[in-house]
Structure 1
């Protein structure tokens, strides 16, 4: 599928995570220090949405069980999660935020 426009830059504030639906899949995008990070909007521990979790720099905490993940790599940092988040490549094209979305 390749690069898909997901959002406009003005839709996300610094330190914010927001959910979007792309090709029927729930994707979360976070903005940290002017950079954008994209990942499946699903905690790998119990498959709950993670976009409403606490974002601290590039670490997001699942609001349901407290698992934390590095949004730059997807790495699960704390239990109960042991499986990484699925992350996506992100690029900014003008005002558009795009992710490389492949089935």
Structure 2
């Protein structure tokens, strides 16, 4: 898809019996749509969830270049572009395609239709 992706914010829902620290509930699987950017706050952290070609990815929602919110960026196939200065990241690796920056990745898991993110 080309163009700016819509972004949603899902407030943290508190502890979930399906996850125990360091794992925190992030979102229901059905709230994460293909090609969309979803801002969540598991464990009080600013996290970006996205799904591309059926695979889920979890990153910090803050660009390492200028601390811009990544959920306001654009996702095209496997490239996430920051809105502020055009830094492009490969969502399969978190590596910046412009320079040596790295987008922090979070481990995630799916249990009973709920996405958990590991916060350490």
Please indicate, yes or no, whether the TM-score normalized by the shorter chain is above 0.5. yes
Q: 1:41 aligns with which of 61, 67, 85?
A: 61
Within 5 Å, which residues of 2 pair with 1:4-83?
Answer: 4-79=24-99, 82-83=100-101
Q: Select the structure that is richer in strand.
A: 1
Question: Given the two structures, how large is their TM-score scaled by the length of structure 2?
Answer: 0.77
User: Any unmatched runs of 5+ in structure 1?
Assistant: none
Question: Given the two structures, how large is their TM-score scaled by the length of structure 1?
Answer: 0.89
Paired residues of 2:24 and 2:43 also in contact (CA < 8 A): no
User: Any unmatched runs of 5+ in structure 2?
Assistant: 1-20
Structure 2 residue matching 1:23: 3-state secondary structure: helix
Number of aligned residue pairs: 100
Which structure: larger Rg?
A: 2
RMSD of aligned alpha carbons? 1.3
d(CA) in 1 for partners of 2:86, 2:114: 32
Q: Select the structure that is richer in helix.
A: 2
d(CA) in 2 for partners of 1:44, 1:98: 23
Paired residues of 1:71 and 1:87 also in contact (CA < 8 A): no
